[in-house]
Amino acid sequence: MGSKLVKEGLTKAPHRSLFKASGLTDEEMERPLIGVVNSFNEIVPGHVGLNDITEAVKKGVLMAGGTPLEFPAIAVCDGIAMNHEGMKYSLASRELIADSIETMTIAHGLDGLVIIPNCDKNVPGSMMAAARLNIPTIIISGGPMLSGRFKDKDVDLISVFEGVGSVTSKDMTLDELHSLENSACPTCGSCSGMFTANSMNCMSEALGIALPGNGTIPAVFSERKRLAKKSGMKIMELVEKNIKPRDILTEEAFKNALTVDMALGCSTNTVLHLTAIAYEADVKMDLNIINEISKVTPNLCRLSPAGPYHIEELDAAGGISAVMKELDKKGLINKDVITVSGTVGEKIENAYKKGDKIIASVEKPYSQTGGIQVMYGNLAPDGAVIKKSAVDDKMLKVKTTAKVFESEEAAVDAILEGNIKPGDCVVIRYEGPKGGPGMREMLTPTSALSGMGLDDKVSLITDGRFSGGSRGAAIGHVSPEACEMGPIAYIKDGDIIDIDIIEGKLNVLISEEEFEERRKTTKIKETKYKGYLGKYAKLVTSASTGAICK
């Protein structure tokens, strides 16, 4: 691999001719060819500002003696895709992103990559491509948006989703909701809480494949452009030293990232994505390691939706480097692993944590254990995942009554019509990677319950996913999924489901004999799709393996 394949020697005269048709000079072709992957589009708010970041990256590459060559990648806005057929394409887009970056890079013999992602599946797809290709690569995201203000409170996108439930329960008027929707997302950037996009941008920093600040510097700050220039310059150093993603994305790096994940209280989707990135990097990672790390890692941050704070405040408090330095006080960070900018130890040496409000001290954390819990039981033999840090204490251990729905839309209708009562457990099935297909995020039902004041009274369980913005006892990724004959397919209205988030147990209270009888008599719902979703459904694996495609 590399540009020698496309530009050197007698037989590459035609290739050089085509590069010259694109405007390249001999001098530019003599330098390393650096792919600059620009995920700009005019739909996704996290991506509308990426042309500025891309231009800054290209200036950095030029300053350091490389030749930048820009090409695009797609991105889906999960918020706009939410609660309709479009959400089936969100997770599926991750594979398209990784595949397209792989295709462009190898087809054109590039020497290195600077990938510029920002939103939910675009970031992990970019990191999957980096691990798969294993040529020098650095990630520089577009950065988070600022939080908004409404009635003297900080608000974000989730506030608007929850506002729908508040209007339904008559706690908010339509005029107030309209004012809220005008205020909640005031700038470009990835949505301002510790939702999936920002979670994964923070993970890129914790893994070491991005420069310090990548996860938290706001999109509208000039510092973000300076970081982009530094990233463009840094890729030339990585190419010169031949430092590749798999040199960085080691087993110890993933343990560091999971530790930071638990401390931050990231989205449950990080479980899917870190597993998929590890697969591409040939690093073994199963769900059990998550619980092992969670047991010893204090939860230091309560950012939206788990608390009132936003990414801009995490940045001002010291960012990811400060979180890692605080965790190191308990010996939880491996400082010897390398990153794109030296070792972790060198990266965090001069980090400074401002106060204990945004980033708590390890001596007085928000919780002694991490923000994510993997659950097992007869309802989820291969595992399920919950964002424990966003669950009310009284919902951590409950017995609930199942109300079963065959789709997200049916569940949302029941919630908004007032048919879900305290003590109920909303079970949404056939929304898994294959069954959806595409494993839709369930932000609308969780937000509706929160807006109606039921998030501390009602549980949700699904073989689909929950948004990083979901709060409450929302258990997702139930594996095996319903369409693969998982036990969630056999649940009936009125079943008692025993939820113990503290111990990580998820069981339906029926006998083995009854389970076996249901297994024999349950008819699995079938859906057939043409086009990309049809191909995806045939290739995608379980959520417990990261919903990778094989």
Share of the chain above pLDDT 70, in %: 100
For residue 452, what pLDDT is reported?
Answer: 92
pLDDT of residue 372: 93
Give the model's pLDDT for residue 36.
99
pLDDT attached to residue 528: 85
Contact yes or no for 323/301 (Cβ under 8 A): yes
Mean pLDDT for the stretch of residues 100-120: 98
Average pLDDT over residues 19-28: 98
What average pLDDT is seen over the chain? Answer: 96
What is the tens place of the pLDDT at every residue in 267-310? 999 999 999 999 999 999 988 999 999 999 999 999 999 999 99
Residues facing residue 380 across a β-bridge: 377
Residue 426 pLDDT > 80, yes or no? yes
Q: What is the pLDDT of residue 71?
A: 98
- Residue by residue, DSSP assigns 1-34 as --THHHHSSGGGHHHHHHHHHTT--HHHHHSPEE
pLDDT at 471 over 90: no
Kind of pairing between the strands at 112-116 and 33-38: parallel
pLDDT reported for residue 149 = 97
E-assigned strand segments in 153-296: 153-155
Question: How does residue 470 score in pLDDT terms, banded at 50, 70 and 90?
Answer: confident
Q: How confident is the model at residue 526 (pLDDT cuts 50, 70, 90)?
A: confident
Q: Cα(165)–Cα(313) distance, rounded to whole angstroms?
A: 27
Reference 482, options 447, 433, 416; nearest CA is 433
457: confidence class by pLDDT, cuts 50, 70, 90: very high
Per-residue pLDDT of 194-237, as tens digits, reads 999 999 999 999 999 999 999 999 999 999 999 999 999 999 99
- Cis check: omega of the bond before 212, within 30 degrees of 0: no
pLDDT of residue 1: 66
Cβ atoms within 10 Å of 178's Cβ, excluding its own = 11
- How far does the chain reach from its first CA to its final CA, in angstroms? 24
Range with lowest mean pLDDT among 80-84, 189-193, 241-245: 80-84
Confidence category of residue 83, pLDDT binned at 50, 70, 90: confident
**pLDDT (0 to 100) of residue 218:** 98
Quick one: pLDDT band at residue 69, thresholds 50, 70, 90?
very high
Q: By the 8 A CB rule, do 50 and 139 touch?
A: no
Confidence of residue 477 (pLDDT cuts 50, 70, 90): very high
Q: What is the mean pLDDT of residues 316-344?
A: 98
d(CA 294, CA 305): 19
Q: Read off the pTM.
A: 0.95
222 is catalytic: no
Instruction: Please tell me the distance from the alpha carbon of residue 68 to that of residue 62, in angstroms, as a whole number.
Output: 7
d(CA 104, CA 79): 28
Tens-digit pLDDT profile for residues 390-425? 999 999 999 999 999 999 999 999 999 999 999 999
pLDDT tens string 127-165: 999 999 999 999 999 999 999 999 999 999 999 999 998
Instruction: Indicate which residue of 447, 467, 470, 542 is catalytic.
Output: 467
**Which residues does 22 contact at the CB level (< 8 Å), separation at least 6?**
none
Q: How many Å apart are CA 423 and CA 228, to the nearest integer? A: 50
- Please state the rounded mean pLDDT for residues 506-513: 95
Structure confidence at residue 297 (pLDDT):
97
